[in-house]
A and B are shown apart, each in its own frame.
Chain A
Amino acid sequence: MKFNNVKYIGFAILSGLLLTNCTDELDLAPLSAVGDNAYYSNTEEVESGVIAIYDGLQQVPLREFALTEMRSDNTRTKSSEGDWAQFENFQVQPTNVVVASYWPANYNVIFRANRVLENLEVVDGSLRGQFEGEAKFARALGHFNLVRAYGDIPLVDRVIAPTESDFFDRDDTDKVLSTIDADLTSAASLLPADITFGRATKGAAEALLAKVKLTTGDYSGARTLLESIINSGEYALLDNYSDVFYNEGNSEIIFAIPYVDDDANESQDFSFEFTEGGVVSGLNFATNDFIDSIDPADTRITTFFNPTAVRQEEVGKFITQSSDARLCGNDWIVLRYADVLLMYAEAIMAGNGETSNADALAAVNDIRTRVGLEPITGILTEDMLLQERRHELAFENHRLYDLIRFGKAESVLSAFAAAEGYNFAPTDLLLPIPQNEINVSNGELSQNPGY
């Protein structure tokens, strides 16, 4: 063999050998994300988990209106099409995708909160309490959203693996509510009164806890909490009702989920879907029942509806200012001071159907006089309070749960359904457990009655 060939063979074998030793090349680290081994090892890393909770919360309000407002006498779809019409018709199917998306959105928030709660020991002392409070507030909010929508639900108080099927079955509503109560009580004691807008505060924990206590009938407990918020001086009603929605981060807001205009990641699209231009050509349009219920003197009417819309039933509280119609920045208000005042009256009424307590009347009248309505004198009835909540908090996803909490849901909604030609049954007050969750639960998860 000639020398030349030896040279080639040498090159070939050499390159072969060089290339043979590269199994190390099979361990590649991700370039655009972080691997989760040994993460959450210091304050900064745990805080990144706390921030992630708020990212998770951004998913919750996106379609919540369908499960609350559209399932009450307040709103409907524009054109009664497809899955979306199931809510207004009280014909919700267990396979409905909106129902199926609300469940994981809330459990994802709970998961993120539990991740933080399990890694608190590495956090600096000064921040540990705040992080714990924020996580417990979020976990309680997630469970409260779920228990009101679905009834008995799996209670998840730690990070669970897909194999831990003990956690998949439903816990009694009472047990869930008492855990929520405990989380919020703890959060209220740990959280600061004031912090970056968008993060949970002491007032937020107290206001949510008050709502939980009203739900469980602990009126005196609720009253104490609400008084504490009122007396804290942290919050006040704005003069102009419209500013509550269009002057974000104002003093009336107790807890909101902020979004940003024109940001593919941090914008919401419910504002877009509330318009006729939306993907579904109009969701959450006001019902005639709602429109007819408005007092002509009520100045809130200019905020209820979109004045620029061709269709007068388009909701006007969340009109986007973004340049991209789909990337809307309107914040979602979870708790605000007007709600606290009305809850205060409710706590004083304490399930008695009416009250003449001056504090209760003053709280409600603060809200009425702001919008040009006559103050209530003498006796405040449950119906008056419910009506005030319907209008003050219209399209803010309170109506259905208010009706249920006041024990009026069956009567009001069956009358509404009869007038509209819908079929309402008392079992419609709870949503079906999403069918896909039942399917993968190893038989642990059972369906609600009526589905």
Chain B
Amino acid sequence: MKKFTTQPGIIPLGICLLMLCYFVSSPVKAAHPTTDVIDFISIISEATITGTVTDNNSTPLIGVSVYVKGTSTGTVTDLDGNYSIEVDSDQTLVFSYTGYVQQEIPVGNLTSIDVTLAEDINQLNEVIVIGYGTQKKSHLTGAVSKVTNERLDQIPVARVDDALAGQVSGINIQSTNPAAGEAPTIRVRGQGSISFNSTPLVVLDGIVVGNDADFLSSLDMNDVASVEVLKDAASSAIYGSRGANGIIMITTKEGKEGPTRFDYNGYMGMKEVPDNDYLTTVDDWLSEARSYYGDEELPDKLQYIERVGQQTDWQDVMMDGGMIQSHALSARGGTKNTNFRAALSYLNDQGVLLTDNFSKLNFRLNLNTKVNNHVKFGVNLNPSYTKQRRFPIGVHDAVRQAPWLPLYIDENNIQYLSRFTRGGQFADAQVGDYFWERMFDDYNLDNGAPDPDGSATDISSTSNTNALAKVLERERYRYQTKIYANAFVSVDLADGFFFKQTVGGDMRFTRSTTWLGVEATRNGARDSESILGTSNQLHAVSESTLNFNKDFGKHEISAVAGFAYEEWQRDFSELEAAGYDNDFIQTIPAANLVGGSTFEAEESLVSYLSRFNYAFDDKYLVSLSARWDGSSKFGPDNKFGFFPAISAGWNIGREGFLSDNTIIEDFKLRASYGITGSNAGIGEYDHIGLLSPVGTGFGLTGFNPSNIANPELRWEKLIEFNPGLDVSVLDGRFGLSFDYYIRTSEDLLLNLPIPSVTGFQSALVNRGVVENRGFELELRSRNVSSGNFSWNTTALFTHNKNTLIDFAGASGLISIIDSKRAAEWIALEGQPIASFYGYVVKEEIGLDFIKSPFFPVNGQSQDIYVKDLNGDGVIDTDDRTILGSPYPDLIWSVNNSFRLGGFDFSFMFQGSHGAEVRNISSQYIKNEFNSNQDYSSEFPDGDLVQQRIFTSDDIQNASYVALRNLNLGYTIPTNSVRGIRNLRIYLGAQNLLYFMAEGYEGFNPEGIDLTNSAERNPLTYGYQRRPAPIFRTISGGVNLSF
């Protein structure tokens, strides 16, 4: 993979400049769509007008609303874009279609009006889905971003969240472990919690499905119509105690009136990991060694390695690439009263790692019906099944092995197999077995054979089994069945006034299996085990809302008030058996049952919610909302939380004093203030002091207090102020949105360390304050829009600064993840929540002082000279300092899309800057262990060194710039083919280019270990060794409608 040495910021800057240059130099073109006058007939006062409505590509637009201005007379275009309407010659026709610029055409003498509608790049009249309702974008006063699924379902990724990367400002979707089916890490406006993760709440068609990314793995992108992200507290406050981490609102596609239409979207792609020079080859290493030793003979170990002559490329072995394919077939249609959409889809992602694999099967039915003029009814049903095989070990562990080690014993390399070494441990090894490093020990270079005396040359540096065995002899599967269902009935009560009752929920059944075969570890059968876990969750929701939407002249009111009840039932069980003699069957009874556990829990949430939106003359906007949440998880002293919000906006662009100007089309100032919460970090019964069963070695079971009761336990609280502005100029040709925010997270759920003389080491309390402060800038430009050529650019910039304001007296807390590699993090007030802490590297120890500088292959000294920062002549803990933080300062994306005739082309660059990562992979891959490379006795300043893992050597720049997506399509003219409405073929690519920063050594600068709870702890965030590599995908696909 290429590395660049210039500042990572230069590329996006260059693109922006280019964009700007174009914008300034090109003459302003009329953005109005063209209107072709086909026919001319003399004056008739009333006539039937017919015509066709198409988009810029001459593709017929179906369902365009065509109506006579100022009347209720109207129709919609049919499947071929045709319409027919009775109209007077002095009247005006309005053509309106979501996502396109509305057009008005006076009828005059025309009898046929064909219209080409232009896409509305700023889409100010677009409808935005917000919590418990919708709102016109022009009336929006909070910070909400919308992504419409235009080509997202063609991005060759398995998960919905992966497809959203770079599409929305203010949200960081990071490929922390891009193995098949694994979730990225999602953060809306920074990390606002100390003790727990902060994944946004996912709301699917109005039903909350959880504050984890689980549902985003099973949902099919082809079913998604749009995704809205509610970013500020005022927008998310309507979700009360669950809104503080932002909301991802997903709306699925619905049926449309008309004959049934079938759509197929399918693609296939190849995934591969680009070449990376992180791992060395035996040849390169030996030539480096030769230039060091000059005329001297190479040390015995190196001579032996040279003689073995094996070159194993562990990157090729472990990152073997894979195929991804997706097939989605849907049918939609309906009558005047009932419409439906049904879809079936299958996806398989083989992942780029050796055994990882993910597949999902999805069925969806969306059905809406009008019972009569006042009553509507609808259901959404989405069962899905996913199966994931996970890569069983860390990538660092998979690729750390010596490149001279063959995978298997064969008839040639068996000559090196030492049957005597280690007390005859490998006496029975034979051709076809995995080759271990230790099997090469005790080789006599002079005799050219293994030495029975056991004192000859050793080249092993690990007692572990072959890395291939670690991967192939383990199996980790995760099977999930999910059922999402929701049904609503809506009843008109009076003019503008309706009642809506929704009942829904989701069920998740998860089964996971882990198998360690008898050859999976160096301990052989004695480490073999089989673990079977099941976890189930039932979640039911009932929501009742009264809604009111009405215009009174210039006054526009929309209000909602409601009640919601939610309930969860969770259970978990696990069985573990160990001591398998062979790999024949993995069932639990085939070995000894060594452990079993079960757990059950319930949770309930009672909510009252309301919102009142008011707009005067489309100019002055105000929104008030409030929610009361009562949760079984909160302590008895704080059973209910109150979450209010207020926001206001002023559409200056619609004021009279701006009506004459020809530049500004829209100019809106807005500001929001709100309070929302997060209850994600609270367990079902955390506020109760619990006594848990405990066992002894003599068969008796007791009960023991497992936590300290906290009757005050409550939600984390987010207070956010968010001023912003939206500008659209030159007929919507250029648009800008800007948001500035100050998010203060208070009452953070902190597992406060307490003196263990109390019998407990921590207590869950609400303490501490974190602030996230930043801005988001969105620029949208319709660079060119002519008959058959268009070019649009969107650029998003997000800056966030994370600061620990108050840490409940624990400021300066140092935390570690792994006692064997006790690299430190510090939580210091005034700094980000997690900062890497340690020593600053001064210089390398000269090779001359290392006893065996070129063994093992790819070896590097464990220690390194560090700076005496306080200048007292000794290196001690006072010389540690902050070395970086895992949070990026700036993330951005620039998306360009072009259309020329039947061709369309789009590509998105995306980048992140300012984050560091504690990349500890080198300790493994470069063998930074003293046992291999001791210093010579005349080693100078031996007291001025530290282990590399404690120093800035492992703190690496995690910035990157990626050509994240690219899509090239061609719509094949199908007028001649009967039955086919649309046929388009496309090529897609992901990460075609991926630039890592200078100084980063590894396969994935976005990678973060999140396997265990210590790694998931925000106080020790940013540790990297296990994650899957960044890969590139090239795919081809087809869209077919018939």
Contact = CB atoms under 8 A, between A and B. Distances in A.
Query: Do A and B come from the same complex?
Result: yes
B595 interface: yes
A123 to B, nearest CB: 14
A331 B696 CA distance: 11
A122 interface: no
Contacts of B522: 277
Greatest chain A CB density within 10 A among B597, B754, B755 is at B755
A2 B639 contact: no
21 contacts: A5-B492, A12-B499, A16-B563, A22-B606, A26-B606, A26-B639, A30-B684, A30-B688, A33-B690, A36-B705, A51-B702, A55-B702, A83-B820, A84-B819, A162-B755, A266-B696, A277-B521, A323-B591, A440-B752, A440-B753, A440-B754
Contact of A39 (B372, B601, B691, B822): B691
Contact of A162 (B375, B636, B702, B754): B754
B396 to A, nearest CB: 16
Contacts of A267: 594
Contact of B542 (A15, A108, A310, A436): A15
A279 B689 CA distance: 34
A144 interface: no
A79 B599 contact: no
A23 interface: yes
Given A162-B758, A262-B594, A310-B423, A198 B696 contact: yes
A162 B708 contact: yes
Interface in A130-170: 154, 156, 159-162, 167-168
Interface stretch (B187-195, B353-361, B810-818): B810-818
B703 A31 contact: no
A258 interface: yes
Contacts of B50: none
B839 to A, nearest CB: 14
A260 interface: yes
A312 B238 CA distance: 67
Contacts of B603: 28
A397 to B, nearest CB: 18
B697 A162 contact: no
Contacts of B567: 25
A260 B699 CA distance: 9
A336 interface: no
A213 interface: no
A19 B565 contact: yes
A440 B592 CA distance: 43
Contact of B759 (A30, A97, A107, A435): A107
A25 B931 contact: no
B539 to A, nearest CB: 14
B704 A34 contact: no
B579 A323 contact: yes
Contacts of B706: 33
B598 A32 contact: yes
Interface residues of B, number: 97
Interface in A105-122: 107-108, 110-112, 114-115
A56 interface: yes
Interface in A397-451: 435-437, 439-442, 445
A404 to B, nearest CB: 24
Interface stretch (A42-50, A177-185, A296-304, A352-360): A42-50
Interface stretch (B242-250, B342-350, B523-531, B885-893): B523-531
Given A58-B696, A324-B578, A28 B592 contact: no
A25 B692 CA distance: 24
A377 interface: no
Contacts of A436: 753, 813
Interface string A49-87: 111111110100000000000000000000111111000
A12 B696 contact: no
B840 to A, nearest CB: 19
Contact of A8 (B491, B592, B754, B756): B491
A50 B694 CA distance: 11
A439 B565 contact: no
The 3 closest A-B pairs by CB, nearest first: A111-B759, A264-B595, A323-B579
Nearest to B603: A28
B521 to A, nearest CB: 8
B691 to A, nearest CB: 4
Contact of B700 (A36, A51, A259): A51
A327 interface: yes
A199 interface: yes
A247 interface: no
Given A2-B372, A107-B756, A30 B704 contact: no
A127 to B, nearest CB: 14
Interface of A: 1-2, 4-5, 8-9, 11-13, 15-16, 19-20, 22-23, 25-28, 30-37, 39, 45, 47-56, 58, 79-84, 93, 95-98, 103-104, 107-108, 110-112, 114-115, 154, 156, 159-162, 167-168, 196-199, 257-260, 262-267, 276-277, 279-281, 310, 322-327, 329, 331, 435-437, 439-442, 445
Given A262-B578, A324-B579, 17 more contacts: A9-B491, A15-B501, A19-B542, A26-B639, A32-B599, A35-B690, A36-B689, A48-B701, A52-B702, A55-B695, A98-B819, A115-B759, A196-B698, A258-B698, A323-B591, A324-B527, A440-B752
Nearest to B563: A20
B685 interface: yes
A12 B544 contact: yes
Given A35-B690, A440-B755, A104 B604 contact: no
Contact of B526 (A12, A93, A259, A323): A323
B761 interface: yes
Given A162-B754, A260-B697, A30 B690 contact: yes
Contacts of A80: 930-931
B816 A95 contact: yes
Contact of A81 (B463, B579, B931): B931
B242 to A, nearest CB: 15
Greatest chain B CB density within 10 A among A32, A110, A197 is at A32
A79 B704 contact: no
A58 B695 CA distance: 10
Greatest chain B CB density within 10 A among A111, A154, A331 is at A111
Contact of A159 (B492, B752, B759): B759
B757 A49 contact: no
Contact of A51 (B425, B596, B685, B696): B696
Given A161-B758, A266-B696, A34 B819 contact: no
Contacts of B705: 36, 115
Contacts of A28: 602-604, 632, 684-685
Contacts of A280: 820
A265 B565 contact: no
A12 B374 CA distance: 14
A264 B530 CA distance: 13
Nearest to B754: A162
Contacts of B501: 11-12, 15-16
Contacts of A437: 755-756
A26 B703 contact: no
B578 A95 contact: no
A34 B758 contact: no
